[in-house]
Amino acid sequence: MNTRRRLWLAGAGAALAGWALRPGLSGAPHDGYFAALAQALRQSGRATDASTPVLVLDRDRLLANVRQVQALKAPALPLRVVAKSLPATALLQLLAQQLQSQRQMVFNLPYLLLHAAQFPAFDLLLGKPLPVAAAAAFYVQRPANGFDPGRQLQWLIDSPARLAEYRQLAQGLGQRLRVNLEIDVGLHRGGFASAAALDEALALLRAEPLLEFTGMMGYDPHVTEIPDLPGARASAEAHAKAVYTQYRAQAVAALGLPAAQAPGLCWNAAGSPTFQLHDGSGAANEVSVGSAFVKPAEFDLPHLAACQPACFIATPLLKSGAFMLPSGVQWLGQLLTAWDRNQRHGVFLYGGQWRADPVSPAGLATSGLYGLSPNQQVLVGSGRQQLQPGDTVFLRPHKSEALLQQFGDIVVVASGQVVAHWPAFPPMP
């Protein structure tokens, strides 16, 4: 056989093998759940619910998730709601009611002011250490409505230097400030990371009657989020708990807290990835949870298997047809779609480029070749989705934090109907 013939045969063989490896056809129209959600949006009293991108919250699933989290959480540990993951007043109110907990964790000055104004009875712990100027601004702008920062607010402090700044603020205001110390239990995102630094802060607290120590915050999501290498998670958990116990004991001793007083302080730990790992026998005496209640995609964790996704972006489809790459590279698209039939069809959404994945109808995906767009995002599929312009496409957010606020009022669905529109907090980092 001559060389040309051999090459030709090899090429034909490779093409046949490639053809045999073609992805199978996939995709289907909405299932019953999403068909009902789409129908609810169409039947809503607000025309914009089905004609613009909206954030849909399934209240039935939310309430079921509340029950699941409560079943997983140690009964001895009160729950603090992580407000940044659930940024809407009515949503936070409903959760407070369902959980019988007025404890919330807030993360920025605008939301702190909103909380103080809208929830004058709540107990607020900062989830990140704010620059002292932001704390000072709070005392200027805070509502005069009965919310008492001297009883209901804990500032978060991560270093002796910041504590010294807050001391100056307290002295300037002539007011007691309540401070909770952020400790590094292994995440390495900041906070007190050595006994020496902690000692320095504790000495400062001992010397300044205007600063009131209220407890510690040790956030530990790395315990379940680091790669599952043999022993890694177990040792991260043991380390986090041991460090917390050690720092708590150091604070109790240095401040001379009476034995009866320490358990009454706020020893906060966890988040959705780890709240189930605390049982009340360790240093932590309360756990934080936010995202698990709405379960965005990054919270598909084994212990949350019984929780269901409860928030989706719903957006109308503008155009539907054969998927084509732009002129000049159209041939490339034709080659590709000949090989992968799941890219034959293209649908253009109203909006796009959200931090979310298409979830229904099944089998839609972003194109690896056509650019993303916040204006009109194309998704490709086999065509089995049977979508027409005007139909609704659902996407599942990666996170609820910073996303729930992007769509104006949250559209609340229950028992197959739109039952409310909840104003979301203004978008804020």
Interface residues with ligand PLP (CB under 6 A) are 82, 85, 105, 127, 219, 271-272, 288-292
In whole angstroms, how close is the CB of 400 to ligand PLP at the nearest point? 7
Dihedral angle of Cα 120, 99, 158, 247, to the nearest 10 degrees: 130
In whole angstroms, how close is the CB of 101 to ligand PLP at the nearest point? 14
Amino acid in the structure at residue 215: G
In whole angstroms, how close is the CB of 268 to ligand PLP at the nearest point? 7
In whole angstroms, how close is the CB of 299 to ligand PLP at the nearest point? 7
In whole angstroms, how close is the CB of 82 to ligand PLP at the nearest point? 4
29, 317 Cβ separation under 8 angstroms: no
Q: Which is nearer to ligand PLP, 82 or 163 (CB)?
A: 82
Q: Which is nearer to ligand PLP, 27 or 271 (CB)?
A: 271
Q: What is the DSSP letter of 213?
A: E
Amino acid in the structure at residue 137: A
Q: Which is nearer to ligand PLP, 135 or 380 (CB)?
A: 135
Q: Which is nearer to ligand PLP, 371 or 427 (CB)?
A: 427
308 CB neighbour count, 10 Å cutoff: 16
Q: Got the DSSP string for 108-150? A: SHHHHHHHHHH-TT-EEEESSPPPHHHHHHHHHH--SSS--HH
Q: Which is nearer to ligand PLP, 87 or 346 (CB)?
A: 87
- CB-nearest residue to ligand PLP: 271
**Distance separating alpha carbons of residues 371 and 366, to the nearest angstrom:** 9
Nearest to 272 by CA among 68, 410, 30, 134: 68
Inter-CA distances, 344 with 193, 379, 420, Å: 54, 10, 38
178, 144 Cβ separation under 8 angstroms: no
User: Which residue has tokens 């978008």?
Assistant: 427
In whole angstroms, how close is the CB of 177 to ligand PLP at the nearest point? 19
113, 134 Cβ separation under 8 angstroms: no
Q: Which is nearer to ligand PLP, 38 or 294 (CB)?
A: 294
Q: Which is nearer to ligand PLP, 82 or 412 (CB)?
A: 82
**Distance separating alpha carbons of residues 426 and 277, to the nearest angstrom:** 33
In whole angstroms, how close is the CB of 79 to ligand PLP at the nearest point? 10
